[in-house]
């Protein structure tokens, strides 16, 4: 008898370009019948915070993958330009916006959890988070839930 596969993803970054890797992997896991949970912590909390989820940005400064001199990335308007370019490419690939993606994976059975310590640090309560968040958990509670899962830190 083979053991059922499980995937636990920890998302610690809250920029637009870092929101998608965890969502895409969780979606792929659910499409393959793999149990999946996502734990949002530190800046990753922006991805599940109602007031921020629809306003995530791509910040070119400090990102060598942008292939531009750092001083150019710091010019006024560069963050908005990089964000607009990424949103255009995401749309071209027929990928849903972040909030819609959260709804999709949650509807497909993916558990979505917020980190208790990060929520407390940022003065966030459950009502501040998108409806798809199942629960605010401490790190040990999430690790219990993730027992036996392949663990990815993004």
Report pLDDT digits (tens) over 137-146. Answer: 999 999 999 9
- Domain assignment present for 143: yes
Cα angle, residue 91 at apex, residues 101 and 49 outer, rounded to 5°: 35
**The residue to which tokens 């922006």 are assigned:** 46
- Domain assignment present for 26: yes
With H, G, I as helix, E, B as strand and everything else as coil, classify residue 90.
helix
- Domain assignment present for 33: yes
Q: Which domain holds residue 19?
A: 6-54+96-153
Are 128 and 51 contacting, i.e. CB atoms less than 8 angstroms apart? yes
- Domain assignment present for 81: no
Number of folded domains that form the chain: 1
The edge-to-edge listing of strands for the beta sheet with 35-40 is: 135-137, 111-115, 35-40, 6-11, 150-153
- Domain assignment present for 22: yes
Q: What is the pLDDT of residues 56-76, one digit of tens each?
A: 998 876 666 666 666 555 667
Q: What is the pLDDT along the chain (154 residues), one digit of tens a residue?
A: 346 899 999 999 999 999 999 999 999 999 999 999 999 999 999 999 999 999 999 887 666 666 666 655 566 777 788 878 888 989 999 999 999 999 999 999 999 999 999 999 999 999 999 999 999 999 999 999 999 999 999 9
- Domain assignment present for 86: no
Q: Is the pTM of this model over 0.75?
A: yes
- Domain assignment present for 117: yes
CATH (domain of 143): 3.40.1260.10
- Domain assignment present for 78: no
């Amino acid at each position: 008898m083979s053991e059922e596969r499980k995937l636990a993803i920890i998302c610690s970054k809250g920029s637009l370009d870092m929101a998608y890797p965890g969502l895409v992997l969780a979606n792929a896991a659910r499409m393959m019948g793999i149990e999946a949970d996502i734990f949002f912590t530190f800046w990753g909390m922006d991805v599940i915070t109602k007031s921020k989820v629809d306003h995530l940005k791509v910040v070119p400064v400090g990102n060598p993958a942008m292939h531009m001199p750092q001083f150019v990335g710091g010019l006024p308007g560069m963050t908005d330009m990089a964000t607009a370019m990424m949103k255009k490419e995401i749309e071209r690939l027929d990928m849903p916006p972040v909030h819609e993606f959260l709804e999709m994976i949650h509807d497909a059975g993916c558990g979505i959890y917020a980190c208790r310590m990060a929520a407390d640090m940022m003065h966030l309560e459950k009502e501040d988070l998108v409806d798809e968040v199942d629960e605010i958990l401490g790190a040990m509670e999430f690790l219990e839930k993730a027992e036996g899962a392949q663990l990815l830190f993004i």
